[in-house]
Amino acid sequence: MQIEKHLAEQLRAHAEATYPHEAVGILAGHRKDNLVLQTVPLQNEHQQAHNRYQVNPLAQWQAEAELEAQGLEVLGYYHSHPDHPSQYSETDRKLALPNVNYVIIAVQFGKSHSIQNWRLLEDRSAMEEHPFIETNSPSKETT
């Protein structure tokens, strides 16, 4: 997955703003080149938001429908791990689906550091790391 630097910065800023709670959002673009063109922050409604996240499914559905109406596709989702590595957890694995990217931003003492991108294996047994490449080129389609 590739993402322009200014969008990656939006992810970091969101993760830091919600600290010590987990941030969550959608990564959208076109599947053919796996390039993120838009990020959509969502509300984490989990009661244990310091180490769990959950989005209202109606809000999620609406957000994804709006992206598709713009001609974008859901490439994946991001969330943060406050004071925890960007390694996926067993909870992340159990609640994941294949074919989409799960980007995890580690935030330590309120400051973001490592970011890793994970995808669920087809047999659901584990997640494997995939590239998360920050690019310099500006996108005309980004809003």
Partner 1 sequence: MSITINIPSALRPYVKGQSTIEAHGQTVGQALDFAEQQHPDLAKHLRDDTGQLRGFVNIFIGQEDIRHLDGEKSPLSNGDALTIVPAIAGGAS
Our finding on whether 70 is near partner 1 (CB under 8 A) is no
- Residues 7-66 within binding reach of partner 1 (CB under 8 A): 22, 24, 26, 42, 46, 48, 51-55, 57-58, 60-61, 64
Closest CA to 103 of 40, 19, 45, 58: 40
Angstrom distances, CA of residue 95 to CA of 30, 54, 137: 23, 10, 33
Our finding on whether 108 is near partner 1 (CB under 8 A) is no
CB-nearer residue toward partner 1: 5 or 97: 97
CB-nearer residue toward partner 1: 125 or 143: 125
Laid out side by side, the sheet with 35-42 consists of: 127-130, 111-120, 101-108, 73-82, 24-30, 35-42, 2-4, 133-135
Catalytic residue among 4, 9, 16, 22: 22
CB-nearer residue toward partner 1: 6 or 50: 50
**Residue with structure tokens 């490439």?**
75
Catalytic residues: 22
